Chains A and B, each alone.
Chain A
């Protein structure tokens, strides 16, 4: 089974520039998450989709971050304009709905490491 795919793996931009990240979740997973992981910290949820609807975006800095999940499959996360403090690893994860002991378990992609200079 293919895992969660993310691209690019690395990105370096100057502050005030814009950047976009792409995520392809595990096939059939209805729920998709974007997490931000700052160096030395645990991941923090930015936004959660179920199919193509937003479930939780309470921690998304909406003045500069946006995300979409068209057709309920792939997703993109955009930052515009970027700030120095946005330097982090952006992790995409997906999970399946349903019952069972491992229901809603999140599987993570390799992440995109963003450096803002």
Chain B
């Protein structure tokens, strides 16, 4: 059974600071996603990482994937209050001809304070 672990579960950081969220998974994966969820809202796709060494950046967020270590990171640079949300990583096992289900991590609740 695929297991996905995130840490930390909760992160309070000041504006302007940098920090990293970690996502570990237990079996070989085809794809890894990062999603953002605001309170009471649905999941918004941020990044799709497909191969070892993949790095994607959007604004103050940068995601990377190390398939050998089964580890993805979401790095936050110079945090701003608007980034406050819960961030989930989700992993799909290798595609076998049909679309694969996602297994989600527990989420990291990020709170950026002024």
Are A106 and B102 also in contact (CB < 8 A) when A41-B107, A42-B107 are?
yes
- In the bound complex, CA of A31 to CA of B102 (Å): 12
Are A102 and B98 also in contact (CB < 8 A) when A41-B106, A42-B107, A44-B104 are?
no
Q: List chain A residues, Cβ under 8 A from B95.
A: 103-104
Measured CB to CB, the nearest residue on chain A to B97 is A97
Q: List chain A residues, Cβ under 8 A from B43.
A: 43, 91, 93, 108
Question: Closest CB-CB distance, B73 to chain A, in whole Å?
Answer: 17
Interface positions, chain B 66-113, Cβ under 8 Å from A, are 88, 90, 92, 95, 98-107
CB of A102 within 8 A of CB of B105, answer: no
CB of A107 within 8 A of CB of B102, answer: no
From A33, A42, A97, A111, contact of B101 by CB (8 A): A33
Whether a CB of chain B sits under 8 angstroms from the CB of A75 is no
Are A109 and B105 also in contact (CB < 8 A) when A31-B99, A50-B98, A101-B48 are?
no
From B48, B92, B99, B107, contact of A97 by CB (8 A): B99
Interface residues on A, range: 20 to 34
Question: Closest CB-CB distance, A30 to chain B, in whole Å?
Answer: 8
Are A104 and B107 also in contact (CB < 8 A) when A110-B42, A111-B42 are?
no
- In the bound complex, CA of A93 to CA of B100 (Å): 12
Q: List chain B residues, Cβ under 8 A from A42.
A: 4, 88, 90, 104-107
Interface residue ranges, B against A (CB under 8 Å): 4, 31, 33, 35, 40-43, 45, 48, 50, 88, 90, 92, 95, 98-107
Which 7 A-B residue pairs are closest in the complex by CB-CB distance? A42-B104, A31-B99, A104-B99, A108-B43, A108-B42, A45-B101, A110-B42
CB pairs A–B below 8 angstroms (7 shown): A42-B90, A42-B107, A103-B95, A104-B95, A105-B48, A107-B45, A110-B42
